[in-house]
Amino acid sequence: MREGFRFYNGEVVLGFILGLLYLCDYSIVPIRASIHEYRNEFFTPQLNAFLFHGGSEGLFASKHLEDHDNSSSITSPGNKPLEGKSFIRFEDVTFKRTEESAKIQNAMQSRTGLIEAIIFEVKDTERIGGNFLKTNSNILCCTPKLASEESCTVGEVIIQKDENTPEWPKRIQTFFEGNKQEAKMKPQSVDINKTGMYYLYFMYCDPELKGTVISGRTVWRNPEGYLPGKMVKLMTFYGFMSLGYLVLGLGWFLRFVQFWKDIMQLHYHISAVIALGMCEMALWYFDYSNLGSTGSRPFGITVWAVTISAVKKTLSRLLLLVVAMGYGVVRPTLGGVTSKVMILGVVYFVAIEALELVENLGNINDFSGKSKLYLVLPVAFLDAWFILWIFSSLSKTLEKLQMRRSIAKLEVYRKFTNALALFVLLSIAWIGYELYFNATDPISELWRIYWIIPAFWSLLAFSLLVVICILWAPSRNPTRYAYAGDTGEEYDEEAISLTSGVKVDGGEVGMMMERKEKKGYTNNGVEGDGGEMKGDGASLDSSHNFDRLILSLPSRSYLCRCYSSSGEFI
């Protein structure tokens, strides 16, 4: 009994996914994307200041410039006051200093510590700190010497105002009072009337405030909703990709139903990848749509989208690998290599799942941290391993098909190899572009076109799947490309469609050849052992029957040297 290749056992996969969701439910907090939450976060010393990065996003300008109530809390996205508004809102932002720092302060003093929220557009980075000062570029906070020159105020962050927009960069100050341990920031919003990449930093200059923590949240909103600027076009792209997979799935389904009697096992694997791709794009679209409407990413949908995306990427690579190995075409099973393929698939799934969980669970900033490098490297290494294994397997498969002179199969695999080589070259070129893009845009000034980077990979994977669907589409003659037994030498696949489909292996042909030789026919139709001529009836009838049998066999002329009744080689 032949054992077909199986990607995973259904119960094992279901148990793994449920276990993953269980662990995620207890180890990862609900996702707040455009709502940046702070949970007793510490400030980091930088130059002569202490700072905390509150978030960064691409924001589009408000469509309506009239003011709205800055003191009100966040309202429903459907309310008219929020329509067309772009802003950054501070909610329940609280600073807590250490007891030691609070005790040394005078209870009667009104201001005993200052923390500033600095909001600036990325192009105004040089206006923060001493960057614009020729001799003091390595400071952030004002010093007594600079204060004496009337350049700034001691204890405050140095900011050079823009003459055209004197209110920017924006500074919001919060003071500790007396010997109180906490200071609460007033709820307020900062309207965004100019499109750009905006950064928020909380800073203080007083060394006595060392150990202070921040809690609360900030809400970032674009005119059309809470979706970060770099994701707006990406959501539209996922919508079109969902339609693309739907059209591909519909076409594949119609073809599948039309030739359902001639389906190969490989067709089921292709169907699974198409279905997963459709679900993946649809889930990402609804995930982004919900984020734009509420400011929060639904935990369940996001985890399912990440998991299905990881499963789809894994199965896509495994599909390429088993196709390259000739599974279902030149070999019925993967044999001893099955376990190796399974292990590689499981390892890749774990690696890509971890990477995408980190990328999609938590606050979304329009930049990537260096910590992701530790998760990106394993995925890159495994992708390289897949590529090497795929092309190595393709080389062996092509060589085997050439030796067997399987013209039809060889032509398909040559087209597949050429297409795959083209996609690999495009991938390498795009990786080079990504490196250039990130190197030349470290502070995300090009955030509005960032969406094309992930979109390209999704489009490339979809295009490669379309190529596979075209090359291995269900047809009336599946045995033309399917595995048809290993005879040691390949017979003509195209002859199968012209015959009744009877399968005769090499052993049967050899046995009939041997029987023919025992009858002792020579080139002239003379019986060899007796030297007498056979009667016309017996001899000719036997010869004609043998001719009809030979003509009905799906074999090539170079496979055997048989005599016809006329004494010629067949």
Distance of CA 245 to the CA centre of its chain: 15
Q: Which pLDDT belongs to residue 230?
A: 84
Q: Please give the backbone phi and psi of residue 214, each rounded to the nearest 5 degrees, phi first.
A: -120, 140
Q: Residues 161-190: pLDDT tens digits?
A: 777 777 888 899 999 888 888 889 988 888
For residue 532, what pLDDT band results from cuts at 50, 70 and 90? very low
Residue 283: half-sphere exposure toward Cβ, Cα within 13 Å: 21
Residue 291 has pLDDT above 90, yes or no: no
Q: Residues 344-363: pLDDT tens digits?
A: 889 999 988 888 888 777 55
Residue 223 and residue 227: Cα distance in Å, rounded?
A: 9
Residue 541 has pLDDT above 80, yes or no: no
Residue 237 and residue 225: Cα distance in Å, rounded?
A: 17
Mean pLDDT for the stretch of residues 504-519: 42
Higher pLDDT, 163 or 2: 163
For residue 245, what pLDDT band results from cuts at 50, 70 and 90? very high
Mean pLDDT for the stretch of residues 124-133: 73
Mean pLDDT for the stretch of residues 88-117: 86
Rg (CA), the chain: 36
Is residue 284 a contact partner of residue 238, using CB atoms and an 8 Å limit? yes
For helices 407-440 and 299-324, give the axis angle rounded to 10 degrees. Answer: 140
Residue 32 has pLDDT above 70, yes or no: no
Q: Residues 352-400: pLDDT tens digits?
A: 888 888 877 755 544 445 556 677 888 888 888 888 888 888 888 888 8
For residue 249, what pLDDT band results from cuts at 50, 70 and 90? very high
Q: Give the torsion sign (CA, 133, 137, 141, 142).
A: negative
Q: Which pLDDT belongs to residue 214?
A: 92
**What single-letter amino acid sits at 428?**
I
Helix spans in 295-330 (H): 299-324
Residue 79 and residue 62: Cα distance in Å, rounded?
A: 15
pTM: 0.67
Mean pLDDT for the stretch of residues 62-86: 53
Neighbours of 57 (CB within 10 A): 29
Q: Which pLDDT belongs to residue 565?
A: 41
For residue 528, what pLDDT band results from cuts at 50, 70 and 90? very low
Q: Which pLDDT belongs to residue 247?
A: 94
Residue 207 has pLDDT above 80, yes or no: yes
Q: Residues 449-476: pLDDT tens digits?
A: 888 988 999 999 899 899 988 888 887 7
Q: Which pLDDT belongs to residue 133?
A: 55
For residue 518, what pLDDT band results from cuts at 50, 70 and 90? very low
Mean pLDDT for the stretch of residues 232-251: 92
Mean pLDDT for the stretch of residues 478-487: 52
Distance of CA 126 to the CA centre of its chain: 36
For residue 560, what pLDDT band results from cuts at 50, 70 and 90? very low
| Residue 156 tokens, joined | 């405050």
Mean pLDDT for the stretch of residues 287-307: 81
Residue 488 has pLDDT above 60, yes or no: no
- The proportion of the chain whose per-residue pLDDT surpasses 70, expressed as a percent, equals 69
For residue 237, what pLDDT band results from cuts at 50, 70 and 90? very high
Q: For the chain, what is the mean pLDDT?
A: 73
Q: Residues 105-114: pLDDT tens digits?
A: 877 788 888 8
Q: Which pLDDT belongs to residue 238?
A: 93
For helices 373-404 and 338-360, give the axis angle rounded to 10 degrees. Answer: 150
Is residue 525 a contact partner of residue 567, using CB atoms and an 8 Å limit? yes
Q: Residues 264-287: pLDDT tens digits?
A: 777 888 898 899 999 989 988 988
Q: Which pLDDT belongs to residue 81?
A: 56
Q: What dihedral do alpha carbons 471, 473, 474, 480 form, nearest 10°?
A: -10
Q: Which pLDDT belongs to residue 240?
A: 94
Helix spans in 10-80 (H): 10-27
* Of 150, 95, 156, 104, nearest in space to 128 by CA: 156
